[in-house]
Amino acid sequence: MTITQKRKEFRRLHESGCFTIPNAWDIGSARYLEHVGFKALATTSAGFAFTRGRLDGKMTVREVITHVTELAEASRLPLNVDFESGFAAGGQELADNLRRCAEAGAAGISIEDNAGEDLYDFESAVERIRVSVRALEGTGVMLVARSEGMLTGWAGLDETVRRLQAFAAAGADCLYAPGLRSEEEVRAVVAACAPKPVNVLVWSPGFTVSQLAALEVRRVSLGAALAKVGWAAVMNSAREIFDTGRFESFGQPVEDMRKFLC
């Protein structure tokens, strides 16, 4: 599938129904998630940082672009990129970074309003989305505008909705507010952003895909949850070996990896 075809297919997925877009953190996880049957993939800034022994937010734009290139080339599926805050405050630097990400093979790019110690102020956050829309014009790449207030505790639902509506008016293709914890919050965001599609993050037990579909959520992403599940298994096994000298965790069945690895 060409990059143009990937981008068209990605947009089609957002037109109706509800789909799950799992977040891969390396080439192997991307290939396995494609093997399972998912229709699109996303990156995870935290999951990728873990593979380098770093915390989320500690990767450089050059490292992320290289990562995007690798995943886009490794899978036939459309790829949405967790591009954090765009690695720039705004203006030409933000636009240039977005174009580089698009050229690396992104079908969608998520930009957040996290300024580091707080959210960007309202006007700056909206202007950053305007800059992003102009930067991606003509590429076919979907722009996902993400407001971080509910996740970080820096803003409540009313301010989050205000920002998402402004981002939609500025031209964002999909809206995303990580940190929604109840049906009421999800329903409020979906209603406020309609008819544009909404992404909901699920990183812990609670919501189900069918439940979110009934709330008219268009897509469900997983953030770093899968990467953390993998790390938990490794850490628990390593602790068992070090503390007890036993290898009971090795008895868990594993799917034949020859099915999805080269």
Q: For 28-43, write each residue's pLDDT tens digit.
A: 999 999 999 999 999 9
Cα–Cα distance measured from residue 77 to residue 106, given in angstroms and rounded to the nearest whole number = 10
Rounded Cα–Cα distance for residues 87 and 16 (Å): 32
Is residue 24 within 8 Å of 43, Cβ to Cβ?
A: yes
pTM: 0.96
What backbone torsions phi and psi does residue 201 show, to the nearest 5 degrees? -90, 130
Kindly state the average pLDDT of the residues 100-105.
Answer: 98
pLDDT at residue 137 is higher than 80: yes
Contact 203, 44 (CB under 8 A): no
Backbone φ and ψ of 108, nearest 5° = -145, 150
**Residue 19 scores a pLDDT above 80:** yes
Mean pLDDT of 8-17: 98
Q: How many CB atoms lie within 10 A of CB 88?
A: 16
* pLDDT at residue 207 in the model: 96
Q: Which architecture, in CATH terms, is 3-224?
A: Alpha-Beta Barrel (3.20)
* 252: DSSP letter: S
Mean pLDDT of 60-88: 98
